[in-house]
Structure 1
Amino acid sequence: MFAACFIAPPALAARAAAAPAQSGTAQPASRPAQIDRNGILILVRSTLLAVDQANKTGNYTVLRDLGAPGFQGANSTAHLGDVFANLRNQNLDLSAVAVLEPQLTMVPTIEPSGMMRMTGYFPSAPLQINFDVLYEPAAGRWRLYGVAINVSPAVPVAPSQPQSR
């Protein structure tokens, strides 16, 4: 779905695959996350703005340090620079996410691993900013564990029709 970049520790796949084997039963299904609109805005915007600032400065230290311990352990700042090189080399400006409202394409869910996933886009033009983010609970808050970002041509949305009275 997202070809530009995806970064998550390899342990994520291993954790998901091991869960059914460890319990001896079927893996539990994802469930809706208990998060309000403001929580969604804060997490998604701060994540994408951190990527944007790292791309603009070439310094991925803060992005790495904001991540969950597993994210930090799996990603050096140099590796993050390599992962986001495509976005950085295209000079993509993601700062519009500071003022645009993200449109979620699925309800935020708690995955069987206990991580929260949010997928959607920011309706910017001429390019739409698509995201898929994964957060791990650490020290009482959600911290970045994986992120996928790409851009695609914006899809025009028809204006809503006024309702007749």
Structure 2
Amino acid sequence: MIVKIKHIMLAALVAASFFPTMASAQSPKSQPARPAQPPRPADIDKNGVLILVRSTLLALDQANKTGNYTVLRDLGAPGFQTNTAARLAEIFAYQRTQNLDLSGVAVLEPQLSMLPQIESTGMMHMAGFFPSVPTQIRFELLYAPVQSQWKLFGLSVSLGSSAPVAPSDAPAPSAAAQPKGGTGLRPSGTKQP
């Protein structure tokens, strides 16, 4: 069965206004504000990426299957933990009602469309997909550094057909006009190229 591209914004994020608070809480008050720095490549190897992506999506899969979001919440950064288990259940209700099975991420290799990068907030941001058939699992993840570990701060998951899609008659916008990410995971105050 070919599935139409559906984007399920799973904004298990703290409101965008939380980002400036988080950034200011990490920097001493005596330092003057620095201009936003462009993202830089994250110093993480392939195995580290696999562990983060798979463990995050498998935790989401288990939470969806059990209806218990406390472990998913507790694995996250303090900013993610501001979501109650009940709120996370609301956010992921659609996935639960659709009986979406994300367990295939345990054995499939993710393809990254955005290599891990450190945003000006100090958070690590990455995006990609799992090339499964007939439906691809697309993801965008944001991690905050907590006690020398990357902890989940936000995620977005979408499902789409893995079949080729015919181009439309309209010309495609230039790469510069296309939003990078486009799912609301980018912290406020950062510029999109």
1:86 corresponding residue in structure 2: 94
TM superposition shift of 1:98: 0.1
The RMSD of aligned alpha carbons is 2.2
Off by >2 Å, runs of 4+ in structure 1:
1-4, 11-14, 22-26
1:76-115, aligned counterparts within 5 Å? 76-115=84-123
Q: 1:12 to 1:33 in 2, by over 3 A?
A: farther
1:129 corresponding residue in structure 2: 137
TM-score by length of 1: 0.85
Residues 124 and 143 in structure 2, CA contact (< 8 A), matched pair in contact too? yes
Larger helix share, 1 or 2: 1
Structure 2 unaligned runs (5+)?
1-5, 25-30, 165-193
Residues 4 and 86 in structure 1, CA contact (< 8 A), matched pair in contact too? no
Select the residue among 5, 11, 14 that pairs with 1:6: 11
1:153-164, aligned counterparts within 5 Å? 153-155=161-163
1:65 corresponding residue in structure 2: 74
TM superposition shift of 1:133: 0.3
In structure 2, distance between residues paired with 1:86 and 1:136? 26
TM-score by length of 2: 0.73
In structure 2, distance between residues paired with 1:113 and 1:23? 15
- AA aligned to 2:64 is N
**Per-residue Cα deviation, 1:103-135 (whole angstroms, up to 9, x for no partner):** 000111000000001100001111100000000
Structure 1 unaligned runs (5+)?
157-165
In structure 1, distance between residues paired with 2:133 and 2:154? 25
In structure 1, distance between residues paired with 2:132 and 2:110? 10
1:144 corresponding residue in structure 2: 152
Q: In the comparison of the two structures, how many residue pairs are matched? A: 153
